[in-house]
Each structure stands twice: as C-alpha cells, then as structure tokens.
C-alpha cells in the first residue's frame, strides 16, 4: 500500500509540474497578467536591494525546473529520494502558508490596495493550492529508500 501511495503522489507531482508549464504557456498565449501574479506570488527581487523586479512566473519556472531535473537525475543515478522529498515538502509548506496568509481578510487602508487584490483570477489561486499541495503531499508520502 505504501508503494502504491508513493507512486500516486509521485505521478501527481509530475502532473503538477506539467500544470505549471501549461499555465505559463496559457498565460503567454492569452495575454494573462502572469508577470503581475502567478500561483500565489507577485513580482519579487532576487536579492536585497536588487533591481529589477523578477516576474513571478520566472521564479516559479526556475524552481519547478530544478525539481524536475533533480527528480530525473535522481532516478537515473539511483539517489536516495529523501533529500528531494524534503526540498519539495519545505517548498510546498512555505507556499501553502503564504497562500493561507494572503487569503485572510485584510483591512484596506489605501483604495489602490482593493483594486490590486481584485486583479487576481480565481483560477490562479485554485491552481496554486493544487500545485503547492501536490509538492507537500510528495514531500510527506513520496518514495523512500528501500
């Protein structure tokens, strides 16, 4: 039963990574504002005081690409998957926590804050919960060394 669950959550992780790639392609094809908001994150800086801002889809694509490459290298080199599971679990917990904090009701001080919050599509939040939840599920129940 443990192996079946591990295989299921591994397949779900790979599906979630494919969903991220398809969502990036869809965002470019339909002119969605994925440079403003993407799977629960907004534009960010890559270091303290660094310029310019990096689009949120770029950072997500880099992390998802790193997860996919290390997963495939781990299969090829027969590495112990526990480090990969740990990385995915930490990443999933951190982004789910950020989504939870962002979904809490906030007091709007400045009128432009309400306009910014209204621009986030509901599908984006739904996909974010699925993708980061899949990472956490893989981190908790993924394959372990036999």
DSSP class per residue in 34-73: TTT-BTTB--B-SSTT--SPBPHHHHHHHHHHHHHHHHHH
Is residue 66 assigned to a domain? Answer: yes
* Residue 18 binned pLDDT confidence (cut-offs 50, 70, 90): very high
Residue 130 has pLDDT above 90, yes or no: yes
**Tens digit of each residue's pLDDT (9 = 90 or more) over 64-75:** 999 899 888 887
- What value, to the nearest 5°, has the Cα angle with vertex 52 and ends 61 and 121? 50
Is residue 52 assigned to a domain? Answer: yes
Report residue 41 as tokens: 């994150």
According to DSSP, the residues that pair with 44 across neighbouring strands are: 54
**Tens digit of each residue's pLDDT (9 = 90 or more) over 81-101:** 788 888 899 989 998 998 888
Mean pLDDT, the chain, integer: 81
4-8, 52-56, 82-86, 134-138 — most confident range:
134-138
Axis-axis angle for helices 82-103, 122-141 (nearest 10):
150
According to DSSP, the residues that pair with 54 across neighbouring strands are: 44
Residue 93, pLDDT score: 92
**Structural domain of residue 78, as residue ranges?**
2-141
Residue 12 has pLDDT above 90, yes or no: yes
Is residue 146 assigned to a domain? Answer: no
Is residue 15 assigned to a domain? Answer: yes
**Tens digit of each residue's pLDDT (9 = 90 or more) over 26-58:** 888 888 778 777 887 776 666 666 666 777 888
DSSP state, residue 120: S
Is residue 113 assigned to a domain? Answer: yes
Q: Work out how many domains the chain is built from and give that number.
A: 1
């Amino acid at each position: 039963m443990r192996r079946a669950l591990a295989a299921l959550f591994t397949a779900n992780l790979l599906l979630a990574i494919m969903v991220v790639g398809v969502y990036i392609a869809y965002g470019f094809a339909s002119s969605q504002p994925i440079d403003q908001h993407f799977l629960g994150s907004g534009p960010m800086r890559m270091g303290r005081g660094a310029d310019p801002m990096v689009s949120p889809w770029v950072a997500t694509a880099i992390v998802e690409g790193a997860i996919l490459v290390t997963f495939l290298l781990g299969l090829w080199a027969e590495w112990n998957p526990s480090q990969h599971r740990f990385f995915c679990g930490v990443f999933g917990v951190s982004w789910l926590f950020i989504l939870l904090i962002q979904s809490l009701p906030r007091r709007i001080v400045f009128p432009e804050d309400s306009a910014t919050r209204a621009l986030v599509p509901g599908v984006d939040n739904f996909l974010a919960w699925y993708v980061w939840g899949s990472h956490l599920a893989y981190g908790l129940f993924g394959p372990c060394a036999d």
